[in-house]
Amino acid sequence: MSEHGTEVQDVTEVPDDARGLVPAASGCGCGGGGCHGEDADGHQHGYITAKDNYQRRLRRIEGQARGLQRMVDEEKYCIDILTQISAMTKALQSVALELLEDHMAHCVVAAAREGGAAAEEKMQEASEAIARLVRS
């Protein structure tokens, strides 16, 4: 693997059509289906765009994980490895914060409108996810 000049940009090229095969109706468990940003026709154009964006960032994060293995293999300087880990942690955090924002703007809003115990549960669940992020 040593022919790679840089460590953190090794991104697996998942073929684009592989993702299209996933049935769009698999749902997010939110109830009401609002979570994926469907428009009035039940299409998910907005979501598909976001999904590609998440996949691209997660493939890059996967590449960073492989880059770290290569750095350890090649016995790179510890501090340089730590720098890459910090960058990777920030990239992960950034994905998490965006997912959470999407979740709140869609699922949480939808649940709040429906009200009742389900809404309370969604809020509780979101709060717990936030606490895990803040503490990790």
**What is the nearest approach in angstroms of its own copies to the Cβ of residue 130?**
6
**What is the nearest approach in angstroms of its own copies to the Cβ of residue 104?**
5
**What is the nearest approach in angstroms of its own copies to the Cβ of residue 98?**
9
Residue 76 burial (10 A CB sphere; 0-12, 13-18, 19+): middle
Give the nearer residue to its own copies in terms of CB position, either 6 or 26.
26
Give the nearer residue to its own copies in terms of CB position, either 26 or 41.
26
Give the nearer residue to its own copies in terms of CB position, either 9 or 89.
89
Residues in the chain: 136
Which residues, other chains included, contact 4 with Cβ-Cβ below 8 Å and sequence gap of 6+?
10, 67, 70
Give the nearer residue to its own copies in terms of CB position, either 39 or 73.
73
Extended strands (E) in 1-136 = none
C-alpha Rg value of the chain to the nearest Å: 19
Q: How far apart are the C-alpha atoms of 82 and 102, rounded to whole Å?
A: 30
10 phi and psi, to 5 degrees? -80, 100
**What is the nearest approach in angstroms of its own copies to the Cβ of residue 43?**
14
